[in-house]
Amino acid sequence: MVSISEKYIPNVFICRNWAISGLRNYGSKIAKGEIYAFIDADCVADKDWLKNAAEYLTKETCMIGSLYSIPTNAKWIEKAWFSRKPKGRCEVTFFNSGNMKTTLC
């Protein structure tokens, strides 16, 4: 993954043995932009993912995510975890962060 990242971005930071939340917090601390986008290595984003998110994020401070597609051979826990499918603007009790976008407050 590091060699792929280095082809597209000038700086790659390696933090071994960190949990995903710590890595995202670290990235947020050193980032210099107004819109932060997180995507996991095992996620495939829609081609208009960032463009569509930016439209909402420039209107108001919010967080945006999307539903996950899971493999047909997923285990029961994956099926249960991703069976909730909120649509549109709504309050949720959890937020999947595999493809999350947010603006600075």
Q: Are 36 and 101 a contacting pair, CB within 8 Å?
A: yes
Strand ranges for the chain from DSSP E = 35-39, 63-64, 99-103
Tell me: the pLDDT tens digits for 50-92? 888 888 777 777 777 666 667 778 788 777 766 666 666 667 6
Distance CA 14, CA 12 (A): 7
pLDDT score at 43 = 72
